[in-house]
Structure 1
Amino acid sequence: MPSTATLERFIARVEENAHAEACEEFHTPHSSMRENQAPPRVGRDAHVAHERKVMARAKTVQSTCVRPVFVDGEHVVIRWIFRFEWLDGSTTRIEELAYQRWEGERIAEETFFYDPAQALPRQP
Structure 2
Amino acid sequence: MPDRATLEAFIAAVESNDHVGAIRDFYTEDATMQENLAEPRRGRQLLMDHEAAVLKRVAAVRSRCVRPVLVEGDTVVIHWIFEFDLPDGKQRRIEELAQQTWSGNRIRTERFYYDPAQREAK
- Alignment match, 1:78: 78
**What letter is aligned with 1:58?**
V
Counterparts of 1:37 and 1:109 in 2: how far apart (Å)? 14
Gaps of 5+ in 2: none
RMSD of aligned alpha carbons? 0.5
**What letter is aligned with 2:96?**
E
Q: Does 1:51 align with 2:83?
A: no
Q: Residue 21 of structure 1: SS of its match in structure 2?
A: helix
- When the two structures are aligned, how many residues end up with a matched partner? 122
- Alignment match, 1:18: 18
- Alignment match, 1:28: 28
- Alignment match, 1:3: 3
Offset of 1:121 from its aligned partner? Answer: 1.4
**What letter is aligned with 1:98?**
A
**What letter is aligned with 2:87?**
L
Offset of 1:87 from its aligned partner? Answer: 1.2
Q: Which moved more, 1:102-111 or 1:84-93?
A: 84-93
Counterparts of 2:2 and 2:40 in 1: how far apart (Å)? 22
Percent of residue pairs identical = 52
Tell me the TM-score normalised to structure 1 length. Answer: 0.97
**What letter is aligned with 2:47?**
H
**What letter is aligned with 1:99?**
Q
Counterparts of 1:41 and 1:88 in 2: how far apart (Å)? 28
Counterparts of 1:93 and 1:82 in 2: how far apart (Å)? 6
- Alignment match, 1:39: 39
**What letter is aligned with 2:48?**
V
Q: Residue 34 of structure 1: SS of its match in structure 2?
A: strand
**What letter is aligned with 1:36?**
N
